Structure 1
Amino acid sequence: MNTEYKCVTTVDGIRDYIGGSSIVAFDFETAPDDPYREEDKAALDPARAHIVGCSFSVKEGTGIYVPIAHRVGTNIDKDAFFAFLTAFLMNTTTIKIAHNIAFESSMAYARGIVIQAPVYDTICASQMSLKSIYEFRKLNESGLKRLAEELFGEPLPSFSSVTDGKHFDELDAQDEETVRYGSADSDFALRLYHKFNDWFDRYLPKHRYIVEEIESPTAVYLGIMKTNGIPVNLPLMQERKTEAENEMERIRKEIEFIIGDVNIGANCSTQAFKNYLYKDLGLPILKTTETNREAADDMTMTLLKEWCDTNRPELSGLFTLVQEYRKWGKIKSTYIDGYLKYLNPVTGCIHPELFALSTDTGRMNCRNPNAQNMPRKTNDPIGVRNFIKAPEGCLILSLDFSQIELRVGAFYCRDEVMMDTYRKNGDIHAATTSVIFGVSYEEAQDKHSENYKEHRTIAKNVNFGTFYGLFPRGLQKTLKFKAGVEKSVSECEEILFNLKHGYKGLTSWQEETKAEAARRMYSETWLGRRRYLPGITSDNWGQKSLAERCSLNTPIQGTAADILKLAITRILAGLPEREWLKPILQIHDELTFIIPEDRLSEAVAFIRACMEEKPFPEFDLPLIAEASAGPTFGMMEELED
């Protein structure tokens, strides 16, 4: 296709090009600020970079490039441009298209601009479209240049070939290559918008709705969270690092006293240590790896300790020490060194990358660092959560959906006992205790009744696996290793038998869902987010069983993820008039913010309303968002309604 790209240096020129178009693609070019010119990837960090230019496209094959801060050539008046850009990005009638809009959102938010829907992220669209009969494109297969060549047969020049070692602001603003490179990004984003929407309309219309109404606004929100970052208490982290190193050295010496000079490495999982356990000591191999080698994971250490308690009691202490050593090693490597590695020296925060489409169910995940896997408050001996500390005069505020997957599961299976429990704001764990142990609901709630603690612990663990096809041996293993409760296989069989008979809607929903997935070869959320399951008709029992569990997991976990993202879109719409509300993190069913202390009630009311709103017309159970706040993430106190 012949292209018509030009350089524009006035706001009137931009308006003349865009005209009355309600669908506009845009893209930023960035460069590092002066102090950070030599730092790797500084151009991608809004704390260390600035917007050099912006391109727009309203018609395929055309585009304009607007230089803003080039060091060579003529630039547009900066104040006039950013006034225009603010109005454009916050316009609620124009569809704003970008490839990886999270980045554009991050750079815009650093200038105080909250991009407003309608928006369309072509990188999200790519990940929601199929590359083969059963496979969706992955993030690493969704780069603009790759898609341009794959879908349009047009290779685009690489950034390095255009810049030749320079930063983008060192290029001549009016040079033909500069204008072509800058404009092409918007042009091809617009082409992808039409290409993917044509594909969605033909093959997966519901995915178009999800891209437009859920995933693209969520991507904008992710960019805002990344810009805000997570404030940390650096002195406390350094203090805890010393403590962890001292503890690891102490435990290492105690292990060496028992086993001698065997190399245990950083995690007691070296081949030398395994040889010592299984060859020198002659301990039984109680668990193997997928490649049929001797295992040495945490479960193996627990099993070996139990075996030694009976058969070699003099060795039991070794496995207690190994688990302590590993615990301190994980704290140091994951939560101290792992966080410090990504501490931004400009902001004093860590800025993890959150991804909204990197799991099969649509749940978000996080990396660099993974801030979603912090230990829970009840299992945080070193106080990792206290590393996250609000600035002076501010609070950390979190709102967490209460039992959202159980509520979604009750909605799906239409079991009257479950639904009635939620409609009356009842206690689902007491209801399940009543069902599986044959006691009254009142007795199941009575903390002084016999076996209350054990029964409730079992009920909780059963509940969190109820909808996903629990098997007796799997339940036995879960209770033993996650809850510390010993039950025989026959006892677990009885628990599950009672569960199915007490929740009559559960079994029929599971069987119907698995059969429907086998017929269609996929499972999907209520809003139509699809997950293909080719293994569900396999002759291999393991593959078929896994696919069946996924067919049950996807509607529930995926719909819960959709509900959270819908809440995010509502919060995004309210951010422009709440500049003080700073989203910083998402963990599972929880959204976290930094707020001024005096805005607590206002913030809770707004966020709770966004989260508890009916997500779609058919959802007929109440959603509950529980709020907690505190000066650190580890000192959060639950707030009364």
Structure 2
Amino acid sequence: NGTGDAKNSILTRLETLDVDYQLIDTEEKRKKIIQKLLTKEILSIDTETTSAEPMEAELVGMSFSDTENQAYYVPVPPEREEALKIVNEFRPLYENVNSTKVGQNIKYDILVLQNYGVEVKGELFDTMLAHYVLQPELRHNMDYLAEIYLHYQTIHIDELIGPKGKNQKNMRDLPPEEVYKYACEDADITLKLKNVLEEELKKQGVEHLFYEIEMPLVRVLANMESNGVRIDTEALKQTSEHFTARLQEIEKEIYELAGETFNIASPKQVGEILFDKLKIIDKAKKTKTGQYVTSEEVLESLRNKHEVIGKILEYRGLKKLLGTYVDALPLLINPRTGRIHTSFNQAVTATGRLSSSNPNLQNIPIRDEDGKEIRKAFIPDDGCEFFSADYSQIELRIMAHLSEDKNMIDAFLSGYDIHAATAAKIYKIDIKDVTPDMRRKAKTANFGIIYGISIFGLAERMNVDRKEAKELIDGYFETYPQVREYMDKSIQVAREQGYVETIFHRKRFLPDINSRNATVRGYAERNAINAPIQGSAADIIKVAMARIYERFQSYKLKAKMILQVHDELNFSVPEAEKEFVQQIVIEEMERAYRMHVPLRADCGWGKNWLKAH
């Protein structure tokens, strides 16, 4: 471990610091510490638990720090009644509105404590999110942050419970004497990080983004996660049978078309069938190990060369839906609540969008019929209806706003269908004479251009030759000249600053923008154009979510926000609240940010997600 030693010599460790970490394991000590901490304006909190899944985790202990190098750890016994007694003693501390609660991924602690009947009140400061706002592309875990900002090496959890794997212990298996230093360190380091990151946020000019957009969202997401969403397991069972039968049919068809049986799930065998046996193209791409490449992209581009390819793609799509959703969703239902509790990750994407995991609900394919089957299985609570609201063309509207393109702004202000309006201008005809095919091409151009698509890419997407694609792009920039200027300016700004920003100053760093490698540079240039647009859309829906949540709270509504998928919000709403909820949601979505063009939200109701959307 030679390299490690050199590294460690620069980092301080707990042994070398003069700290006061205390194990608070009697009622008397608890009383004293609660009295002391009640008067503090800033309190760093952390929980030790039995699981990384907050809805299943049991408390093992709670730690607190109010001063650097000083922290307290309170063990919590395994029996629920005993545990509740101790947690209740600390309720006034957690529910003290006058103290700012500091945490690293504080949403987790909020959810764990909520399962013990405690609401964390007061302002919040999440060190993980502070770093996410400062450096979206980097890692945000505490061990890493301590190293970077404090030049300190934390006690890693593996030192206590062993490496990941089936023999890994959990915190409950250790006596408090072995846990308390680790737990105290967590609360202490988090407090130290807050003191450093707070200054950084000021220096970088992202305080508004952090305090006004990201922090209020934490409670909203905690609320959505604990609400969970109901799943119609019967419907999924039927879907499973239906999909499985179709898979067997497709399998037969593939074997017939290929003239032999093989393992469709094996990329190697698929490659051999397509390129050695059927010789679909002469020079097929190979990997370093000499295997044929049969990625989705490659197969999509060969789709019209042989009908077996479409079937293989269909087979893969169905198999993925079955594995990822149809058969997996019922297993994710929490036995205690009877619902699925997705985790919404606020510090994962480079663009500022939320992501979700266990299950990831943001990549259910919605275009095709099969993906729709899965949305059918998401249902509201009893006596409630499913309500779905989504932004209409928010990214194009942001493009119009950022580029200030007169023609695009006019098209939106006059209330025309933007794709038809674009087609009319490109083809220089009256909007009444636009054919569905023209509209489709204009739509591809509208969205493609936001993402900085090339003539070649556009030609491929529209199934037209490059000459027509070039004419279309030229016509597009003639129609919207300021969009062109915006794109050039974005790339220019990125070259000079090394980053681009959203309307709320969320940064996206693009170190490759000056790369000598054209492919790498091209990718960075497309991001320079798209990141401010996609990121601004993400910022705007976050603002809307926080405001909707606040209004639901202030009117004590029973309606619940349950899912967010990028531009779309979903709710479970009692019959009696339908009109009011629709009014609140649409108002807050459309008022989240003022632009040169109005924000528009569409919505729908139904007995499940598919019907509502």
Which one of the candidate residues 518, 521, 534 is aligned to 1:557?
Answer: 534
Alignment CA distance shift 1:72-1:473 (3 Å): closer
Deviation at 1:533, TM superposition (A): 1.5
Larger CA deviation: 626-635 vs 296-305: 296-305
| Deviation digits for residues 69-99 of structure 1 (CA, Å, limit 9, x no counterpart) | 46699978458536525633xx2x5322111
- What residue number does 1:525 align with? 502
Moved more, 544-553 or 15-24: 15-24
Q: Residue in 2 aligned with 1:234? A: 233
- Choose 245-254 or 177-186, whichever is displaced more: 177-186
Match for residue 483 of structure 1?
none
Shift of residue 386, structure 1, vs aligned partner: 0.8
Indicate if the aligned counterparts of 1:115 and 1:220 stay in contact, CA closer than 8 A: no
- Partner Cα distance (2:305, 2:57) in 1: 58
Which of residues 276, 281, 290 in structure 2 aligns to 1:279?
276
Asked if structure 1 preserves the Cα contact closer than 8 Å seen for 2:91 and 2:118, the reply is: no
Match of 1:460 in 2: 443
**Partner in structure 2 of residue 588 of structure 1:** 566
Alignment match of 1:611 (pick from 557, 568, 589):
589
The answer to whether residue 308 in structure 2 is matched with residue 307 in structure 1 is no
What is the CA-CA distance between 1:437 and the residue it aligns to?
A: 1.3
Match of 1:597 among 552, 557, 575: 575
Structure 1 residues 575, 122: CA separation in 2 closer, same or farther (over 3 Å shift)? Answer: farther
Query: Which residue in the other structure is 2:44 paired with?
Result: 25
Residue 624 of structure 1 corresponds to 600
Work out the CA distance in 2 between the residues paired with 1:567 and 1:385: 23
Tell me, yes or no, if the aligned pair for 2:20 and 2:69 is still in contact at 8 Å. yes
For the 8 Å contact 1:68–1:77, the answer to whether it is kept is no
Contact kept, 8 Å, 1:116 with 1:573, in 2: the verdict is no
Q: Give the conservation status (yes or no) of the 8 Å contact 1:28–1:54.
A: yes
Q: In 2, Cα distance between the equivalents of 1:516 and 1:498?
A: 26
Residues 223-251 of structure 1, C-alpha deviation per residue, up to 9 Å, x if partnerless? 33222222111122122212222221222
Q: Aligned pairs, how many?
A: 587
The offset of 1:341, in angstroms, is 4.4
Residue 422 of structure 2 is aligned to residue 422 of structure 1 = no
Q: What is the letter of the counterpart of residue 259 of structure 1?
A: A
What is the distance in 1 between the residues matched to 2:210 and 2:117? 25
**Cα distance between partner residues in 2 of 1:289 and 1:564:** 43
Equivalent in 332, 344, 354 of residue 354 of structure 1: 344
| Structure 2 Cα separation of the partners of residues 108 and 214 of structure 1 | 23
**Matched residue, 1:256:** 255
Instruction: Say whether 1:488 aligns with 2:493.
Output: no
2:142 match? 144
Distance 1:601 1:455 in 2: 38
Which residue of structure 1 aligns with residue 192 of structure 2?
191
Residues in 2 aligned to 1:111 and 1:622: alpha-carbon distance in whole angstroms = 44
Structure 2: distance between partners of 1:262 and 1:229:
43
- CA–CA distance in structure 2, aligned partners of residues 304 and 536 of structure 1: 32
Residues 547/79 of structure 1: CA separation in 2 closer, same or farther (3 Å cut) = closer
Q: Mean alpha-carbon deviation: is it higher for 464-473 or for 529-538? A: 464-473
Give the residue type in structure 1 aligned to 2:445: V
Using the size of structure 1 for normalisation, the TM-score is 0.83
In 1, the alpha carbon distance for the partners of 2:286 and 2:202 equals 45
Matching residue of 1:44? 53
Classify the secondary structure of the residue corresponding to 1:635: helix
Structure 1 gap ranges (5+): 32-40, 309-315, 444-448, 480-485
2:423, 2:439 within 8 Å by CA — same for their partners in 1?
Answer: yes
| 1:97-176 correspondence to structure 2 within 5 Å | 97-110=102-115, 115=120, 118-130=123-135, 136-138=137-139, 142-159=140-157, 168=171
Taking the aligned partners of 2:242 and 2:311, their CA distance within structure 1 comes to 17
Change (3 A) 1:177 1:293: closer
Change in CA separation of 1:298 and 1:28 when aligned onto 2, cut-off 3 Å:
closer
Residues 353 and 256 of structure 1: CA distance in aligned 2, closer, same or farther (over 3 Å): same
Separation in structure 2 between the aligned mates of residue 108 and residue 55 of structure 1, nearest angstrom: 12
Q: Is residue 2:285 matched to residue 1:288?
A: yes
Alignment of 1:30-109 (within 5 A): 30-31=49-50, 41=51, 44-46=53-55, 48-69=56-77, 77-78=85-86, 80-81=88-89, 83-84=91-92, 87-88=95-96, 91=97, 94-109=99-114
Contact 1:523 1:532 in 2 (8 A): yes
Give the conservation status (yes or no) of the 8 Å contact 1:581–1:595.
yes
Query: Is 1:401 matched with 2:397?
Result: no
Would the aligned equivalents of 1:67 and 1:75 in 2 still touch at CA under 8 Å? no
Query: Within 5 A, what are the aligned runs for 1:493-508?
Result: 493-508=470-485
SS class of match (1:464): helix
Partner of 1:35 in structure 2? none
The aligned runs of 1:465-476 (5 Å cut-off) are 465-476=448-459
> Which runs of 5 or more structure 2 residues have no equivalent in the other structure?
1-16, 163-167
What residue number does 2:165 align with? none
Equivalent residue letter for 2:504: L
Shift in Å at residue 549 of structure 1?
A: 0.8
Letter in 2 for 1:57: S
Is the contact made by 1:128 and 1:136 (CA closer than 8 Å) also made in structure 2? no
Contact 1:27 1:55 in 2 (8 A): yes
Report the Cα distance in structure 1 between the residues aligned to 2:47 and 2:225, rounded to whole angstroms: 17
Task: Say which of 546, 549, 552 aligns to 1:569.
Answer: 546
Contact 2:502 2:532 in 1 (8 A): yes
Where does residue 9 of structure 2 map in the other structure? none
Aligned to 2:7: none
Alignment deviations for residues 249-285 of structure 1 (CA, whole Å, 9 cap, x no partner): 222223223434442332xx53223222222233214
2:73 aligns to what SS in structure 1?
strand
CA distances 1:494-544 after superposition (whole Å, capped 9, x unpaired): 111111111121111111221121111221212221122222112222122
Question: Which deviates more, 601-610 or 453-462?
Answer: 601-610
Q: Does 1:205 align with 2:205?
A: yes
Aligned counterpart for 1:634 among listed residues 599, 610, 613: 610
Does the Cα contact within 8 Å between 1:28 and 1:104 map onto a contact in 2? yes
Distance 1:178 1:381 in 2: 46
1:426-466: CA deviation from partner (whole Å, max 9, x where unpaired):
3212221122111123x1xxxxx4x6211111122111123
Indicate conservation of the 8 Å contact 1:67/1:76, yes or no. Answer: no
* Aligned partner letter, 2:141: G
Instruction: Select between 396-405 and 620-629 the one with higher mean Cα deviation.
Output: 620-629
- CA contact 2:150–2:193 (8 Å) conserved in 1: no
Q: Give the deviation of 1:325 after TM superposition.
A: 2.3
Query: CA–CA distance in 2 between the matches of 1:438 and 1:398?
Result: 37
Aligned amino acid, residue 453 of structure 1: P
Q: In 1, distance between residues paired with 2:330 and 2:151?
A: 43
| Distance of 1:79 and 1:111 partners within structure 2 | 7
Q: State the distance in 2 between where 1:117 and 1:21 align.
A: 12
Task: Flag the 1:79–1:557 CA change in 2: closer, same or farther, 3 A.
Answer: closer
| 1:104-141: CA deviation from partner (whole Å, max 9, x where unpaired) | 232244456665663111112233345xxxx8422xxx
CA distance in 2, matches of 1:163, 1:84: 32
Distance 1:205 1:382 in 2: 43
User: 1:374 maps to which residue?
Assistant: 364
**Residues 381 and 364 from structure 1, CA distance in 2 versus in 1: closer, same or farther, beyond 3 angstroms?**
closer
Q: Give the superposition deviation at 1:344.
A: 2.9
Q: Provide the C-alpha distance between the structure 1 equivalents of 2:122 and 2:390, rounded to a whole number of angstroms.
A: 24
**Kindly tell me: are residues 405 and 113 of structure 1, through their superposed partners in 2, closer, same or farther at Cα, counting changes over 3 Å?**
farther
- The 8 Å contact of residues 103 and 187 in structure 2, kept in 1 or not, is answered as yes
For residue 634 of structure 1, give the secondary structure of its aligned residue in structure 2: helix
The secondary structure found in structure 2 opposite 1:593 is: strand
Q: Which amino acid aligns with 1:201?
A: K
- Do the aligned partners of residues 278 and 167 (structure 1) sit closer, same or farther apart at CA in structure 2, a change above 3 Å counting? closer
